[in-house]
Structure 1
Amino acid sequence: MAARRLPALAQYRTDAVTRLLCAGAHLDEGFARDVDVELTEDRLHATGLSLGIDLVALARHARASVRRTDLRDRRLAQLCAVGVWAAVPAALYGLVAGLSGLALGAGALIVLTYGTAWGLVHRAESAARAAALAVEHGAERPVDLAPDVGAEAEDRLLEQKRANVVPYTASAERTNPFVGSGSKIKEMVWQPIDVSRPADDPAGGGKLVIKPFDAVDLHSFIAREMEHIAGLKGLRARNRLYVIGDHVSYVGPDLLPDRLRRPRAQIPKQLVQAGVMQPGAGMRTYLSLERAGEGGRVIVSMHLRARLQHPSLTWEVAAYGIPPLQQRFYRVHQLPVDGLERWWSLVGFATRTTASALLGAPRTLSRRASSRRTRARALEKWRREIDKRHLRFDYGAVDSLRERVADWKQLGFSERTDSQDFLQRLQQGVLIATERFLKDHNVDTSSYDQAQQVINTHTYTFQGDIHAGNFGAHGTVNQNGAAAQPSANP
């Protein structure tokens, strides 16, 4: 049958969220500094999964923003020292002492200082807006629009993109061990399936011989076939070993080669497979199925673990979701692009903020330096405790960058229905793939057919307020109260 030919509608960019965050780094100084510290600064804690984000691009733009504002504030602090702390007392003394020349000279210096500061603030804001608009509307990739942040940091962030191990903080074990996946929609263990009985020989003459298989084989089959079976193009499937943060050292040097550095994001696949066959002490492997909605605005994920213990198979299933970005990251869409409106907007911004920026620059620089020293002292203290006292440190991530900048209030109707469709397709796809796998291995699927009837009663409600443990009949999520907010960065 011939394909229908229709005009193409405009589509979201696949990297839309990355572009918004990179633009936000230029427009929000606090966000840029938080990102710069988390992604590039020396630390012990693991970085949580940031699904759907190019971390290298974001780190580059955050560093560019930090360098620009640091340069602006250093120059403002110098101006403040000369043009305010020195000139103002001189002007006052000249007025009191009747030295008009001194008063006029000091006054002129104050005016010159303010004018120079105004120019600095205007220039920095103009550069920030230009960078934000370039990354949001430009044709180039965001990663190519800012200078690199060093090979070591970027290599680590690229490794994070392909992470097959996730250390999570011990406290999350009681609430949300799947750090980086967002808010919990549902957790369950599906009905057991008897996998001990061989199927009937279709040619007659008795039973077929069951082909040996293990949980690793089942995980691999699901990962390989799910995109096609579920009809979800772009589905990402990856086995990951989830490890409680204070158990990281038990995995060995493949995960923690240096106890005084953060753990790695990739380990040999044999260790990941070991977590499928038999969970370790505070560590087990899940098959993570992740699907992003249009433009990556919403991400849904399903974490599966096959519990294969003769004579039965059960699936441990956890579904999670991440909503769109907070409203503040859409500011770039309201920026004037050119002409008189852009000029007037920049003039107004500089006029409103120059005085506070000039007078506050020394305090701002001092506060930043104090914050760096505090972080450095805390890091040194922990390293000393680990090295000298052999402290069992919690290396786990608390959450992820993508989770913290999300807001359930921004979830729209189409995103909600698309996400429910994704989850239903994933559930049905796992069931179909499981049945095919069992049939391929000559297992009688009559027990599967019975279990499927029970499993298919599970539904998923991807609605604004999702609370852990707040489930109604058949696992549907009850809707009551305000939207769940992302957790704060530790």
Structure 2
Amino acid sequence: MTGTGRRYVPTRRVTTGEAPRLVVTLPSSEIGTWELAAGSRLVVGRTGDIVLDVHDVSRRHAGLHCGPDGVWIVDLGSRNGTTVNGRSVPAAQTPVLLAHGDTLGFGSVRATYQETAVLPAPLPPRVAPVRTETTRYLSATTQLDPEFCDLAMDRIVDEPYRALSPTYGVDLAVVAKWALAIRRRRLLRDTALTGLLLLTVALEATLQPWRHPAEVVSRVWWVAVVGLLAAWLVIAAERWITDYQVVERSMTAGRFRLADAPDPVSAYARKRLRAVAERASGNLVVFSEYSPFVGSGERIDTWSFAIDVGQGAPDDSGGRRTPRPFTSGDLHEALTQSLRQLDLPGLRVDERLFVSGYDVQRERRLLPDRLAPPLTAVPAEVVRDKAGGPDTIIRSYVCVEAQAWSGQLVVTMFIRAVRVRGSLFLEGETFALLPLRGSYCTVDAVPRHSRLGAVSSALAATALPAPADLLLSPFRTAAQLHRRSAARAKRDGQSDGIRRGAWFDYGALPSLREAAAGDEWRHYFLQQDATMFVQVTHERLLKSIGAFLQEHDIDLSEFARHQTTINNTVNNDNSMRVGNVSGTGVAVGHGAGAQGGQQRST
């Protein structure tokens, strides 16, 4: 409340006044600045004064009180918690006084509290995470394919310290929620079946003292039949919930909503999924093993060249101008701004930082807590600081990402410039994620049923397998419990090793989207869209490099030769292929991954 007794409604805007402000930085759909007027009491949440329309933010998530001694924050009993600089804010009872520069967390939302009138550097414009059909397909596959469900658990939930690979066109938190739900439901089913089996055996054992054999056989038979019927109903009920309530009613085309994903039961899973939700808008990629471009799919083009930037451009008098100095970061910034002007749908252009899972431990700005995964996003100045240098273990790339066909096609280009004395080295890599394999799209073949029809279908589908499912239930229950115990032991072992100072690989594992990608285009138009993106982006990129060099009075003759070579290769090579699949597969350029991954130098 303000001093006049009226409720203060904040305005989302950038301001140059002296009032403190809340700057929301993640996710990209919520980026903005909120001014906090003196004396106001504000609610942050999905229906609060400061509206954050994100699925893991509560309706009334946190409160802000702008008092005479500063701004205080308190958690209002939110489901996913409020943090200040990574530490949880106690619910309701103990307000926390904010200091300039504090980082606040509301679920997966990240914000910075600022007291001074200094405006933050402008955030790069980003396309909001695409809510694509790919999320629906992968969520449905967790319900229909137990092996994929286990893979989702291994890659997302059971790796609390590893980074996540970029989530191109997929909301991994939603996929993980559905995987957790089906795993819990299957455990409840198998536990109930195990209980029925043990009860049936125990009841039959009590009938053995009966003396008349015919009466014993009759009673044993009836106990077995009743136990089997009860087991059949349990199995059919779980099948009905999965096939009808979840898959048919929530995951078929036109019915899928991200908000329908059930929240995890355990506090550990909720905490892990908050970190997963942040990945979509991050600009830090922590990779494992060889390739830094984890999650990007198949490489379809690669090139590199070096040019002399010590020779000035010719002047009108027949001499040469003196080249103007520049850094790798200057060229990265110019390329980023130019490529953002491309009028392509689903385009995201920004600079991203790449570091290996071992080397990230050397940089506290990227890994402030060794018992937590690395950050998913870092300030722009940190990224720009790592733009140059041939021997750096942390490197930045200008990334151009295009998503199309509801996330079924993702093409990503990575460009890096390195200034080395009088030379400029440039490299470019292009990757493609092709449409999902057909086995991941079976949800579209699910027949529609009425409620009664779904019950009949579930009963019919489970009748014959019911006896085997009943007998196997103890083994399945034991296997699930063992899997959970092994995952917990693995996490504990990782934690103990990190505490003892052991070197740990924080790098991301291959993404679910990458694992599910097929090796065929499946549609001519989709293939042509990929070709268009590669050619149009290359044309703008090379023109932008030439314009930058010209502005800095550098001779363009050497660069022009490389430009011609790359343009001819990209525009005239029609042997599109990915991996080992030719013809209808993909590759653009002579240095594509289809040709053994050898890099083309021009």
For residues 237 and 69 of structure 1, what CA distance do their matches in structure 2 show?
42
Structure with the larger RCO, 1 or 2 (CA within 8 Å, 6+ apart): 1
Name the counterpart of 2:529.
418
Question: Which amino acid letter does the alignment assign opposite residue 362 of structure 1?
Answer: P
1:50 pairs with 2:162: no
- 1:240 corresponds to which of 320, 330, 352: 352
Name the counterpart of 1:314.
425
Q: Identity of paired residues, percent?
A: 25
- 1:215 corresponds to which of 320, 328, 331: 328
* Range that drifts further, 352-361 or 408-417: 408-417
Name the counterpart of 1:250.
362
Query: Of Structure 1 and Structure 2, which has the larger fraction of its residues in strand?
Result: 2
> Do the aligned residues in 2 keep the contact of 1:57 with 1:142 (CA within 8 Å)?
no
Question: Which amino acid letter does the alignment assign opposite residue 281 of structure 2?
Answer: R
Name the counterpart of 1:387.
499
1:39 pairs with 2:151: no
For residues 263 and 381 of structure 2, what CA distance do their matches in structure 1 show?
33
Name the counterpart of 2:591.
475
> Do the aligned residues in 1 keep the contact of 2:155 with 2:511 (CA within 8 Å)?
no
Deviation at 1:287, TM superposition (A): 1.6
1:155 pairs with 2:274: yes
Name the counterpart of 2:372.
261
Name the counterpart of 2:202.
86
1:60 pairs with 2:177: yes
For residues 275 and 411 of structure 1, what CA distance do their matches in structure 2 show?
40
SS at match of 1:160: helix
SS at match of 2:503: coil
- What do you get for the CA RMSD once the two structures are aligned? 3.2
For residues 140 and 334 of structure 1, what CA distance do their matches in structure 2 show?
15
1:222–1:445: structure 2 CA closer, same or farther, 3 Å change rule? Answer: same
1:371 pairs with 2:483: yes
1:117–1:237: structure 2 CA closer, same or farther, 3 Å change rule? Answer: same
Deviation at 1:304, TM superposition (A): 0.9
Deviation at 1:476, TM superposition (A): 5.5
Name the counterpart of 1:129.
243
1:433–1:14: structure 2 CA closer, same or farther, 3 Å change rule? Answer: farther
For residues 588 and 173 of structure 2, what CA distance do their matches in structure 1 show?
41
1:430–1:473: structure 2 CA closer, same or farther, 3 Å change rule? Answer: closer
Name the counterpart of 1:6.
none
Unaligned regions of 5+ residues in structure 1, if any? 1-12, 481-490
Question: Which amino acid letter does the alignment assign opposite residue 50 of structure 1?
Answer: T
Q: 1:82-117, CA deviations, whole angstroms, 9 ceiling, x for partnerless residues?
A: 12x3355567x479x534444333322221222222
For residues 309 and 324 of structure 2, what CA distance do their matches in structure 1 show?
15
Deviation at 1:26, TM superposition (A): 2.0
- 1:397 corresponds to which of 508, 512, 530: 508
> Do the aligned residues in 2 keep the contact of 1:48 with 1:401 (CA within 8 Å)?
no
Equivalent residue runs for 1:159-308 within 5 Å: 159-169=278-288, 172-173=289-290, 176-190=291-305, 192=307, 194=309, 196-198=311-313, 200=315, 212-229=325-342, 231-252=343-364, 254-278=365-389, 281-308=392-419
User: Could you list the runs of 4 or more consecutive aligned residues of structure 1 that deviate by over 6 angstroms after TM superposition?
Assistant: 204-209, 470-473
> Do the aligned residues in 2 keep the contact of 1:191 with 1:455 (CA within 8 Å)?
no
Question: Which amino acid letter does the alignment assign opposite residue 225 of structure 2?
Answer: V
| TM-score, normalization by structure 2 | 0.68
For residues 394 and 485 of structure 2, what CA distance do their matches in structure 1 show?
35
1:208–1:155: structure 2 CA closer, same or farther, 3 Å change rule? Answer: farther
Name the counterpart of 1:323.
434
Question: Which amino acid letter does the alignment assign opposite residue 479 of structure 2?
Answer: R
* Range that drifts further, 54-63 or 333-342: 333-342
Unaligned regions of 5+ residues in structure 2, if any? 1-129, 597-602
Q: 1:93-146, CA deviations, whole angstroms, 9 ceiling, x for partnerless residues?
A: 479x53444433332222122222212222212211231233334656632112
> Do the aligned residues in 1 keep the contact of 2:163 with 2:507 (CA within 8 Å)?
yes
For residues 448 and 308 of structure 2, what CA distance do their matches in structure 1 show?
60
For residues 274 and 350 of structure 1, what CA distance do their matches in structure 2 show?
61
For residues 200 and 348 of structure 1, what CA distance do their matches in structure 2 show?
85
For residues 423 and 352 of structure 1, what CA distance do their matches in structure 2 show?
53
Name the counterpart of 1:438.
549
Question: Which amino acid letter does the alignment assign opposite residue 274 of structure 2?
Answer: D
1:417–1:193: structure 2 CA closer, same or farther, 3 Å change rule? Answer: farther
| TM-score, normalization by structure 1 | 0.82
Equivalent residue runs for 1:101-140 within 5 Å: 101-130=215-244, 131-137=246-252, 139=254
* Range that drifts further, 154-163 or 409-418: 409-418
